[in-house]
Every structure is written in C-alpha cells, then in structure tokens.
Structure 1
Amino acid sequence: MVLVNEILGQIVQVNRSMTWGSLATLKPYANFLVDDDVERLKKAIDTKGVDEATIVKILGNRTLEQREQIAKNFKKQNNVELEAVLSKKLSGYLENIMITLLKSPTLLDAQVLKDAMKGLGTDEDTLIEILATRSSKELQAIKTVYKQEFQKDLEKDVASEATGRFQKLLLALLKNQREVNSNIINYELIEEDAKSLYAVASQKKNPDFDAWIPILTERSQNHLNRVFKLYKIYCTTDISDTIRKELKGDDEKGFLTLVQCIQNTPEYFADRLHSSMKGLGMRDKILTRLLVSRCEIDLLNIRAEFRKKYGKSLYSTIQADTKGDSQSALLGLCRAEDL
C-alpha cells in the first residue's frame, strides 16, 4: 500500500482565491475631495431632469470608504440622507445600482438574505451563495446586523424556510465555525476526513450525507482542497461527481455550491454572473450586487475565470446586455476589457 504521505506529496494545492490575493477593480480615487463631490452631487440632483451621468461618474468611481464619507458629509450639509434623495430622484435599474453602492457590505448581505426568504418561495441560490462565500467573521457581523435591522434571528428564519439536509447545511454554515487557513498541514486529519467522506459515499443503501456537513463547514479551505484530492484517489471520482450522482434538488445544489466555493470561489462568482445575464431578461439585482460586493475584493480574479470559462469577457457581456447610465455604472465597476 502506498504510504499516505507519498500520496499527499503528489497533491498540488490549487486555491486561486487565496494565492492570487485581493485583486480589486475599483481602487481609491486619487484626487478625492469629499466636499467637491458633495457639491457636484447636489448640483446634479437639483438639475432639471437630474444629471444622472454625473451621479454615476462620482459614486461609481469611489471606493466604499470614500462613498461613506460622501454620504456622511452630504447629510451634514443638506440635513437629508443621500440615499433618500437618490431614491426619490432616480428610478429603475439605475436607482438600484446607486442605492446598492451606498450600503455597507454587511447590511447589504443581511437585506439580501431577508429578501431571499420573503413571501412565497425561497431563493435557495442566494441563501447558499451568501452563506458559503462569507468568512466566519463576516457571517457573525451579518447575524448581528440582521438582528438589529429585522428584530429576528437569522438562524431561526433560515430554519423556518429550509428543510431537511439543506437546512442542516445552511445552519451549520451559520455557526461560522470554519477554521482559518494555516501553514501547518495535518496529514493524519486529511486522511481521516477523506476516508470519512468516502465511507459515506461508498454506502450501498441510504448513505448518510449528513456526516459530510461538519467536515465541509468546519475545516479550513486549504485543508479541504487537500481532502478532495485524496478523496478522488480513494473514490476514483471527483467529489462533485459524487454529489451529482447521489443527491437531488436543494441538497445537490447546496453541496455542489459549497464544494465549488471551497475549490475556486472566483469561478463560482463567474458562473453566478453569467447566469444573471443568461437568456431573456437579466436578473438585474444579482448582477449589480455581485459587481458591487466583489469590485473591491477579487473582481479581477472573477473576470479571468469568466473569460476562461465562457470564451468572452465579462466587460463585453455586460456591455451587450445593458444600456445607458446603468451600463456606464456597471462597466465602471468591471473596469476593463479582457482580451
């Protein structure tokens, strides 16, 4: 039998989201003068018909920190919230983009989660997206803001909207117990986890995939990528293929999304962006939210994955599916063409 360490020695760790680092498309505006921006915004808002192009040029080219300063000074000088004024003066898609730009990432996530569970039917794709791609620290902040905004516990709302194994997976993610990445490689635990995953998958009748949940939601991203490599050696099939074969419906969707986010988060977001612009009618809010939430983190990574997977650039795809000032705002966040 081949020694475990020899097997593991052949495993090449590939984790693009970690090795590429933070590759933002939106950088701090070099000549930022908050009072000048506030004055120009006020003038653009008060202009007959509203000067939407100027509003886009300012808010779409400032980082979150700079936008927060603008909003703070706007209220101080005009005794009214900038968000409230823009909601009154703008409409449609452009209004959504500008208002989204003014929200903090944590508040935006909390509101998106609330909307995903509002009314008849649940948006499972959005639930798993947020919970699978946020860090433990971010999830804790989201739960706190959710409680403050809606006077409800996020865990209780999720538990009431989801059922079965999918519910268990979401609630496990909300416990935010995932270990941080470490330079220390625990080969024994890698082997143990890979064997545990394989033991479930190899069960002939009613495999208990609930046993996968603690491993997939508590181990670090780097550790799990090594586990997945070893799992493939044991099982002779990729873990995603096992999920597709053995699970259905929301369970399949939840586990596949989580595994993809662990293996390659930028590719997952590229898929979400592509889906938001696919077919008749764009899912405008998803496109906007993804661009706004990733433009100061890793949108360059996502752009590269989009180009690689779909054979065209994210920039040109947005350009083909949008128009007017909304197009200008979204292209500004995307920033550039990938040839």
Structure 2
Amino acid sequence: MLGHTGASTHTGAPPGCDDTHLTPSTSGEAGCTMSVTSGKTGLSLTQEILSHLGLAKKTAAWGTLGTLRTFLSFSVDKDVQRLLRAIAGQGVDRAAIADVLTNRSREQRQLISRAFQERTQQDLLQSLQAALSGNFERIVVALLRPAAHFDAQELRTALKDSGSAEDVVVEILATRTPPQLQECLAVYKHDFQVEAEEDIKSETSGTLQNLFLALAKGGRESCSEIIDYNLTEQDVQALKQAEGPGTEGTWVLILTQRNPEHLVRVFDQYQRCTGRELEHTVRNRFHGDAQMALLSLASVIRNTALYFADKLHQALQGTEPNYKVLMRILISRSETDLLSIRAEFKKKFGKSLYSSLQDAVKGDCRPALLALCRAEDL
C-alpha cells in the first residue's frame, strides 16, 4: 500500500508512468517554514523579486514580500489626532486619512482604532463611515477591519450571492494560511451565528460543495524537504484513472490535501505521461462552477502570485474597474506577497501594476490603491 507514512528520500529521476492505486494520505497543517533573504547585490527591485518568484508562490514566502511594512516612527497619539482633524474640519481631509491608513500595518491600524475609542468615546470606523462615501469609504472600511472579519464578510457575501461564488470562495479558502483560515471561520461563526460549512452545504452541491468543504477543513499537508516520487506517480495514475462518473472525489482529495510543492510535481508528471496539461483534463472532465473552481485552485497551486496578478489584470479590464476585487487583493496581499504579484503582473502583461492602476482607477480611492501598490516597476 502506498501512502504518505514514512516516505523515503529519493534523489534520482522520478519513475515512469506505472499503474498504481490511490490511498488517502495522512493530512497535516499546510504551509512551509522558510524565510527568504537575498544575498544578491547590484540587482534592480524587479530583478530581485523575479529571482524569488520560485519561492513567492509558496506559503514559505508569505509575509516576506509585502509592500506594506510596520511603520517604524509610529505614534498612535499623533495618528489619532491627525484622523480627528481630518474628519472634524469643514471639509473631510481624504488625503490625510489615506496617508495614515495606507502607511500603517494592519496591527497598527487596530491600535489606532482602540486608541481613538479610548480618547473620544467614539468608534473610528463608524466616524469615518459617517464622513465618507463611495469607494473611498469601502476601502477605509476594508483597511480598518481585522483581516479575519473582512475575509469572513467577503466569504459570506460570496456564498449568499445569487451569482457565481466560486472565484471569491476559492481565493479565500485556498490562499490563506491555516491560522488565518481558522480565525476567519471562527469569526464567520461568531458574526453570522452559523458555521461556514453549513452555508456551503446549503448554497452549493456536488463536486463544488465537496471541494469547498475540503478546503474549509484546512487539512493540506505540510511542505516537506523529502520528495516522494512514489506518491507523485501514485497521484498521477489516480488522476489519469479518475475519468468516469463517481471519481470526482479523487480530484478533490488530491488537490486539497497534498502540499503545493508535491502538486506541482504531479502536474508536471501528469503532462509528461498524458501529453496534455492537467487543466486541459479539468476542462473536459468538469463543467460549470466546479470546473471554474478547480481551475482557480490549480492556478493557486502552480503560482499564487501569478494567480493574483491575473485576477488584478481582469479586474482592471472594461470601462469600469472591479473596485471590490482590487481592494480585496491589494489590501489582503499588501503585507504578504504584493511585491511578487507586481513582478508577475509586469512579466506577463508587459506593463506595471502601478501604471495600470493609474490609467484605470478614478475617484478618491485612487491614491489609496496606488499607495498600497507602492511603486512603479521599471
């Protein structure tokens, strides 16, 4: 029986395409523990980020490539006073509000909110909402809400939306670290008095439901220094054989339980064995929302930064940008991997994300979005 217990280390080439059978493996916590540092000198910012792209797509690099850092000269009292002046005058000083909120980490913004409450006996979020409107109000709300609360609200809206929900649900369930996901689901239960799993069951069905439930469990295996070529071959053969009715569970099991590094090897080996990309089989094998969700998940697994770059590019198309998507991604990734997303954006589309935002975004939320993006990539 081939499982994932006591996997041996292999240093040679992977075996050929032999017929094997799938045995579910023991799941562990997702994510790798690794820091990304650079000893390179004389590189431009874009070159340095591009040199990290192989790592940036993994949980290993989360938290190392953000555009927004902890503000070193942070003074909570000065920030509270500045925000008070911004909303207490004859005209609201949107520039001051944006400058404070987009130059502080999320943790620092929470400290500002608590201090504002203590000093004024007023809720900062409610005070700003009363003074603002439109997209600028929405981005301020998103910046001030704790990450788990923002994710929980986005997840709830997506599941209850009468339209297609799979894109947002996959984004949140598949790209958050295990602790982030656990906190999001706890907030979901507290705020809406229902488990997210129950809403998934009531709002979805079939393969899509099984996929979402598996992602919500957060049971993806940890990244490992050990390369198990036997397990890679086992998973490839299992996916090749999972073509008939009733075999959808195999796809869900493998794509939601295995760690990303292993799955990239599975994707590559699958293409070598079949002559086609795994995504091609997904398009032929699945339909509708389940197909779209699985394709999104495959994109996350292959390269998380590129997945977000594609989403941002799509949100910038058309006569009116999708501000909701722009805000959610720029805010949620600003302290994790937005630098690598910017690099992937420039690499694929030949134009920087900053310039694309400048050209497409209008209105008073524009400076805030540009501040989160931070800089031009030459």
Q: TM-score range by the shorter chain?
A: over 0.9
Tell me, yes or no, if structure 1 residue 142 matches structure 2 residue 184. yes
| Aligned match of 1:165 | 207
1:109 alignment partner in structure 2: 151
One-letter code of the match for 1:55? Answer: I
2:129 corresponding residue in structure 1:
87
8 Å contact from structure 2 (residues 15, 233) kept in 1: no
What is the Cα deviation at residue 311 of structure 1?
1.4
Counterpart-to-counterpart distance in 2, 1:257 and 1:121: 17
In the TM superposition, residue 147 of structure 1 has moved relative to its aligned partner by 0.5
User: What SS is found at the alignment partner of 2:66?
Assistant: coil
How many angstroms apart in 1 are the aligned matches of 2:368 and 2:190? 31
CA–CA distance in 2 between the matches of 1:100 and 1:51? 18
Rounded Cα–Cα distance in structure 2 between residues aligned with 1:5 and 1:336:
42
Q: Distance in 2 between matches of 1:29 and 1:190?
A: 44
Alignment match of 2:14 (pick from 4, 8, 17): 8
Task: Note closer, same or farther for the CA distance 1:119–1:245 as it changes in structure 2 (3 Å cut).
Answer: closer
Matched, 1:334 2:373: yes
Structure 2 distance, partners of 1:185, 1:250, is 33
Aligned match for 2:294, one of 237, 243, 255: 255
Q: Does 1:279 align with 2:318?
A: yes
Paired residue secondary structure (1:8) = coil
Letter in 2 for 1:314: L
Q: Any unmatched runs of 5+ in structure 1?
A: none
Tell which deviates more after alignment, 263-272 or 23-32: 23-32
Using structure 1 for the length normalisation, give the TM-score. 0.92
Amino acid in structure 1 at the alignment position of 2:181: L
Judge conservation of contact 1:173–1:217 (CA < 8 Å) in 2. yes
* Secondary structure at the counterpart of residue 365 of structure 2: helix
Counterpart residue number, 2:6: none
The structural deviation recorded for 1:208 is: 2.3
1:1-339 equivalent positions in 2, closer than 5 A? 6-8=12-14, 16-18=56-58, 22-200=64-242, 203=243, 205-206=244-245, 208-339=247-378
Cα distance, 1:121 vs. partner? 3.4
Residue type at the aligned position of 1:253: M
Q: Residues 358 and 370 of structure 2 are in contact (CA less than 8 Å); yes or no, is this contact kept in structure 1?
A: yes
Return the offset for 1:209.
2.7
Q: In structure 1, the residue corresponding to 2:276 is in which secondary structure?
A: coil
Distance 1:119 1:209 in 2: 25
Number of positions where the alignment pairs a residue of Structure 1 with one of Structure 2: 331
Deviations for 1:79-138, whole angstroms, at most 9, x for unmatched residues? Answer: 011000001000001001111100111111100011112353342211121112123332
Between the aligned partners of 1:33 and 1:214, the Cα distance in structure 2 is 48
**Which structure has more RCO (C-alpha within 8 Å, separation ≥ 6)?**
2
- Alpha-carbon separation, structure 2, partners of 1:280 and 1:158: 33
The amino acid across from 1:115 in the alignment is: T
Report the CA distance between 1:327 and its aligned residue. 0.9
Percent of pairs with identical residues: 43
| Whole-angstrom CA distance in 2 between matches of 1:143 and 1:119 | 18
C-alpha distance after superposition, 1:163-221 (max 9, x if no partner):
21111111111111101111122222112111111222xx4x54723211111111111
Cα deviation, 1:35-94, whole Å, max 9, x if unaligned, reads 011111101110112111111111111111111111111111000110000010000010
Question: What CA distance in whole angstroms lies between the structure 2 residues aligned with 1:167 and 1:118?
Answer: 14
**Structure 2: which amino acid aligns with 1:288?**
M
Where is the helix percentage greater, Structure 1 or Structure 2? 1
Q: TM-score scaled by structure 2?
A: 0.83
Asked if the contact 1:267/1:306 (under 8 Å) is kept, the reply is: yes
Further displaced range: 278-287 or 105-114: 278-287
Deviations for 1:222-280, whole angstroms, at most 9, x for unmatched residues?
11111112111211211112112322211210111111101100011111111211112
Q: CA RMSD in A?
A: 2.0
Structure 2: runs of 5+ lacking an equivalent:
1-9, 17-52
Change (3 A) 1:62 1:310: same
CA distance in 2, matches of 1:246, 1:185: 29
Amino acid at match of 1:37: D
CA distance in 2, matches of 1:169, 1:5: 33
1:323 partner amino acid = K
- Which one is further off, 84-93 or 243-252? 243-252
1:291 is paired with a residue of what secondary structure? helix
C-alpha separation in 2, matches of 1:130 and 1:28: 24
